Amino acid sequence: MKKGALLALAAAGAAAAVGAGATLALFTDSKTTALDFAASTLCITAERDEGDPVPGPMFYITPEQGGTPDGRNGINPTGLWAPGDKHSKTLTVYNPKSCSSQDAWLTSVQARLTEGVPNQYEAMADVLHVAVKAPWHGVDTVVGEGSLRQFLQGAVPIRYPDGSKIPLILTSNVQMKFEVTFDLDAGNEFQDKTLVVDFLVNAEQVRNNP
Amino acid sequence: MSKRRLLTGVVTTAALSALVTGATLSLFTDTAENNSNTFTAGTVDIDQVSTFTCSVEADNLAPGDSGTCTVEVTYEGTLDAWLGVTASTSGDLFGGANPLRVDLPAGVDVDGIRVLGQVSEGDTVVIEVDWEFPLEAGNEYQGKNGQVDLTVYAVQARNNTRNDGSGPISWN
């Protein structure tokens, strides 16, 4: 009878504890594993080439005009333009690992009027023809062209002759050529006139974007 | 319906919803720039053509007179250019059987314009015009007048020079 009384007391105690809101302590364990998401980056850069110090414009009239911000003169000035003149300059476009993490397509080229330049003679954009070239099967090949006006109006698509896109693999570069021709039929109204533009090369991710 | 099928249904609905509401697909892009590319056209500019200077006064001619008159042309264009000249005459001294004769410097004619040569910025060119009033000229010329108008032309040399280098391909 004594043993039966003890069991009854224990059961009553447990019931009282639950009724009073006491917690039960159990042995447990858990593990957490993190899944981190990080978006890639696409970052391309461009510099003129042909031995010119960088940075600086591809096309410039005098060595001083083509100088770098730290005062090194450009070494390939075009001189003043005459109707019929044609000059080709190289723009090396990079996909550097320092800021990029994926392959890119070079998709288009556009131009814009350089800010802060007084007396821009925009009509000159109609008599300057721009041919953009990229290496294709080892030969510099036109991938996009038009009047400078067309480049100022919006992005001009660039594609290889077979319609395929131009790849710029991560850590590699593409040497693009910008060939500009001053229309031989340009009249006297263009004498002593100046137009200053920025050239922009646009890129897109390759992945999931065939 | 299982939990997995339920999830699939939710995702499909979301995708359809995105399409219906006109959502656009976005790609990572970037742009590289090359700034301040300058295109400046040069100039073709005849700065000055002087008045004639003559070795013999030309305002009191007698039959048998001859001489040379010169003009100086100053070129101030920034582009190298071909210089050319034409002469036109008017007045009674240039009519009749024994007119006053005027000769431009010897040279090649391109499109009726006598080529003088190439010039660069700052060059001065002297054009010599020889003239002769024939000894055979008779009284019909007494008191008559005549005038020579010299017109000087310049045209860019670059992209406009004949293969043999003798002159411009075109004057305009």
Q: pLDDT tens digits for A32-83?
A: 777 787 888 999 999 999 899 999 999 999 999 999 999 999 999 999 999 9
Instruction: Look at residue A28 in the predicted model and tell me its pLDDT.
Output: 73
Distance from the Cα of A142 to chain B's closest Cα (Å) equals: 19
* Distance of alpha carbon B141 from alpha carbon B57, whole angstroms: 17
Cβ of residue B38 closer than 8 Å to a chain A Cβ: yes
pLDDT digits (tens, 9 = 90+) for B64-117: 999 999 999 999 999 999 999 999 999 999 999 999 999 999 999 999 999 999
Chain B contact for A29 (CB, 8 A cutoff): no
In a mutagenesis test of the A interface, which of B34, B75, B121, B160 is the best target, namely the one with the most A β-carbons within 10 Å?
Answer: B34
Nearest to A134 by CA among A105, A101, A97: A105
Residue ranges of domains in chain A:
45-205
pLDDT of B12 reads 45
| Partner-chain residue, chosen from A61, A83, A196, that has the shortest CB–CB distance to B159 | A83
Neighbours of B79 (CB within 10 A): 24
Q: How many CB atoms lie within 10 A of CB A12?
A: 10
| Nearest-CB residue to B29 (from A39, A94, A203) | A203
> Cβ of B34 and A48 within 8 Å?
yes
Contacts of A11 (CB under 8 A, 6+ apart): none
Tell me what pLDDT residue A31 has: 77
| Contact (Cβ atoms closer than 8 angstroms) between residue B66 and residue B130 | yes
Instruction: Set out the domains of chain B in order of their start, with CATH numbers.
Output: 46-156 (2.60.40.10)
What does the pLDDT read at residue B65?
93
- Strand order in A128-136's β-sheet? A45-48, A86-94, A173-182, A128-136, A139-147
Q: Is B40's CB within 8 Å of A114's CB?
A: no
ipTM of the complex: 0.82
Is the four-CA dihedral B86, B92, B93, B97 of positive or negative sign? positive
Instruction: Give contacts of B45 with chain A, Cβ < 8 Å.
Output: 191
Burial of A139 per CB tally in 10 Å (0-12, 13-18, 19+) = exposed
- Exposed e or buried b per residue across A37-74, where buried means at least 16 C-beta atoms within 10 angstroms of its C-beta: eeeeebbbbbbbbeebbebbbbbbbeeebbbeeeeebb
Flag whether the pTM goes above 0.90: no
Chain A positions touching B46 (Cβ under 8 A) are none
Under an 8 A CB cutoff, do B27 and A209 touch? yes
Over range B46-74, report the average pLDDT.
91
Give the pLDDT of chain A (210 residues) as one tens digit per residue. 455 544 444 444 444 444 555 667 777 777 777 778 788 899 999 999 989 999 999 999 999 999 999 999 999 999 999 999 999 999 999 999 999 999 999 999 999 999 999 999 999 999 999 999 999 999 999 999 999 999 999 999 999 999 999 999 999 999 999 999 999 999 999 999 999 999 999 999 999 999
